[in-house]
Amino acid sequence: MPQAATETVLGALAMSLDSLTPEVHKAATYVLENPADIGVSSIREIALKAQVKPNTVMRLARSVGFTGFEDFRRPFREQIREGRENFQDKARWLQSLASGGKLDGLYRDMAGASMDNISGLYSGSDADKLRLAADEIVGARTTFVLGVGLINALARNFAYLANMAVDNVEAIPREGSLPADGLARAGEQDVLLAMTLKPYRREVVEAVEMAVEQGVRVISVSDSPASPIFAEAAHRFVVPTQTPQFFISTVALTAFLETLMAFVIADADDSVIASIERFHQRRHEMGIYCSER
């Protein structure tokens, strides 16, 4: 199928990034981040957008086993022909939001970007990939969850919720320490769920490299197939972050973590539900929650 063919091509590109020359690497990064452009753009258009020469795009195609650009582009064109969706209703709705002026237009743009990010997340992944990652988390001696800066709160929230169900999830970095400090004693029985978005944080990249050296299984979540935390990861998930505002959108990352959490709970044994119920029952008994009226 065309979808499988494009995923095969993109997967081969992602795995070969470290072995490519700087210019071919630049072209490969563009392709990985903009696969929808490949089926509708000429070799010169792709070269211009990637800021490389056309013969660099040709070398890129050959690096993953194609004889030329047309062969390389064919699966992407087939996917467009067979997989085009009808978004007329969505488009009409978004257009209607702009009728009230500048702020309504911004509202429309934000709504459209959020919908596109969610759609891109779920169309770019599947249940089997999530199940395998959840298996790793549930089966690990310790699962370390790493996110800094903007996504630190999301990482800590995931660890907090996970610990209601299983007792092997820990957020890093701990207060006053570096991410690498939390992994000092980690090994082959452990898992690292690492997240970073552009511009990529050095301490996260270095923590992933350290984890790989120690035999830790890595689940990487980032916004580009060319992300530096994907190179040696056992599981890779791309979350779209496009937005019309200055700061990146974390809508898709939040949705991904919520979905992964659901898979972790579903993957654990029956005692997990009882554990969550006991957790909330204790909180009710301690008066932590307000009484419902």
Which of 16-25, 113-122, 184-193 tops mean pLDDT? 184-193
Residue 81 has pLDDT above 70, yes or no: no
Q: Could you tell me which residues come within 8 angstroms of residue 280 by beta carbon, excluding any fewer than 6 positions away?
A: none
Task: Walk across the sheet containing 169-172 and list its strands.
Answer: 169-172, 143-146, 191-195, 217-222, 235-238
CA 71 to CA 62: how far, in whole Å?
A: 10
Portion of the chain with pLDDT greater than 90, in percent? 45
pLDDT tier for residue 53 given thresholds of 50, 70 and 90: very high
Residue 85 has pLDDT above 50, yes or no: no
* Per-residue confidence (pLDDT) for residue 35, from 0 to 100: 84
Q: Could you tell me which residues come within 8 angstroms of residue 200 by beta carbon, excluding any fewer than 6 positions away?
A: 222, 227, 228, 229
Residue 102 has pLDDT above 70, yes or no: no
- What is 2-83's CATH number? 1.10.10.10
DSSP calls for 22-40: HHHHHHHHHHHH-HHHHTT
Which H or E element spans position 227? none
- What is 127-284's CATH number? 3.40.50.10490
Please tell me the pTM assigned to this model: 0.72
Work out the burial of residue 219: count CB atoms within 10 Å of its CB; fewer than 13 is exposed, 13-18 middle, 19 or more buried: buried
The residue with greater pLDDT, 79 or 130, is 130
33 is written with which tokens?
């981040």
Name the one residue in this structure whose structure tokens are 């990985």: 32
112 is written with which tokens?
């459209």
145 is written with which tokens?
């969850």
Average predicted confidence (pLDDT) for the chain:
84
Which H or E element spans position 145? strand 143-146
Residue type, 13: L
Torsions phi, psi for 104 (to 5 deg)? -65, -35
DSSP calls for 75-108: HHHHHHHHH----HHHHHHHHHGGGG-HHHHHHH
Residue 283 has pLDDT above 70, yes or no: yes
